[in-house]
Amino acid sequence: MKRYPTVSIITGTLDPKPSVFRRMLEAIVAQTYPKRLIEHVVVDGGSSDGTLALAIRFGCRLVSHPALRNKEQVRFAKGFSLLKGDIVLILESDNILPDSRWIERLVEPFVDERRVSFSFPAYNAYTQDMTMLTKYCALMGSPDPTLFYLKKSDKIPAGQTRYDKGVVLKEMSDYWIVRFEPEGLPTLGDNGFMVRREILALALKKNREYIHVDAFASLVTRGFDTAGVVKNEIIHIMGGNIANHVRRRIEVKRLFTDEKRGMRRYHAMDWSSPRDRRNLFKYIVFSLTLAQPLWVSIHGYLKIRELAWFLHPVMCLLMVAGYGWSEVVFQLKHWKKLVLDKK
């Protein structure tokens, strides 16, 4: 009989949508993994919509930091110090586990392979009652077509049977063993990610913010580069409409790229990488001409009959326009500051 490790789930909250948060908690309770081996820590930033009562009702350990309301990454860093499990599961309040054996399947690579440092599902999923935007992001395996064309999303599209990130060392019936390299590293570390707690601790700095992609880029460069990529799914609910989603992606760029240039360890778009420059150029051309994104939509639809595939040309065009305008604004501000500093 295999010895299963203890699992610490950590979730950051700030006024999440109650119906989604409840589904997330219900899915955890429904897991067949031994309850005595699971703890769930919810790190809240001062919610006022019933989140706290809901977390307590489902047996979570609640830690509230209202003073850090707008500093989610700092709250997460503080929360990690409270965890006791062998394995840490990073689960957002809009993540839903789609089946009762989900935790067991994600733990399996750690039990079978000592060299595995982290694990995560290969796919995103949805249910038919979800929005077209959630379905689209699940089908593409990415919340942003930019990551899809840069080949930086950790998930793969629905229907794809080969994992094409990193170096696949071995394929088992339920998962791939994959070694990642700093060059071309996908966006690891969020939305249903498991990692050995003692390894994650090496990437955390006391009283500093936790940016998941930077933390895992640091781990990969230190040799903790092998993952179990499990052949299952996680549901990631995309809130709001398409316009709000695009605005949010642009805001993420502003906060974590523009305002932190020169301070980040991980770059989704690495300007020093010929591969990234080449992929970005192709993405812009494809998006502006629309033909290739439309072909992706048709090809996907023929495999999985979902109309959400046809959001792809629209999302490509909107994200290229949005990121393009954001970069122009950033460069203008940057050059204006340089001119003023010289005076």
Q: In a structure prediction context, what are the per-residue pLDDT tens digits for the chain, which is 343 residues long?
A: 468 999 999 999 999 999 999 999 999 999 999 999 999 999 999 998 888 999 999 999 999 999 988 888 889 888 998 999 999 999 999 999 999 999 999 999 999 999 999 999 999 999 999 999 999 999 999 999 999 999 999 999 999 999 999 999 999 999 999 999 999 999 999 999 999 999 999 988 755 788 999 999 999 999 999 999 999 999 999 988 999 999 999 999 999 999 998 889 999 999 999 999 999 999 999 999 999 999 999 999 999 999 999 999 999 999 999 999 999 999 988 787 777 666 6
Count other Cβ atoms within 10 Å, centred on residue 101. Answer: 13
Q: Give the model's pLDDT for residue 72.
A: 87
If you ran DSSP here, which 8-state letter would residue 89 be given? E
- 3-class DSSP state of 320: helix
Cβ–Cβ under 8 Å, residues 233 and 124:
yes
Nearest to 174 by CA among 224, 236, 99, 235: 99
Distance separating alpha carbons of residues 106 and 103, to the nearest angstrom = 5
Tell me the C-alpha distance between 69 and 147, whole Å. 28
Find, among 177, 202, 246, 239, the residue nearest to 88 by Cα.
202
What is the model's pLDDT at position 1? 40
Query: Which pair of structure tokens corresponds to residue 38?
Result: 């699971």
For residue 2, the model assigns a pLDDT of 66
| Amino acid type, 276 | D
Strands 61-64 and 7-13: unpaired
Q: Which of 253, 269, 266 is nearest to 219 (CA)?
A: 266
Q: What is the pTM of this model?
A: 0.94
Strand 175-179 to 167-171 pairing: antiparallel
Nearest to 266 by CA among 212, 224, 222: 212
pLDDT of residue 71: 87
Q: What pLDDT shows up at residue 262? A: 85
3-state secondary structure of 229: strand
For residues 18 and 131, what is the distance between their CA atoms, to the nearest angstrom? Answer: 17
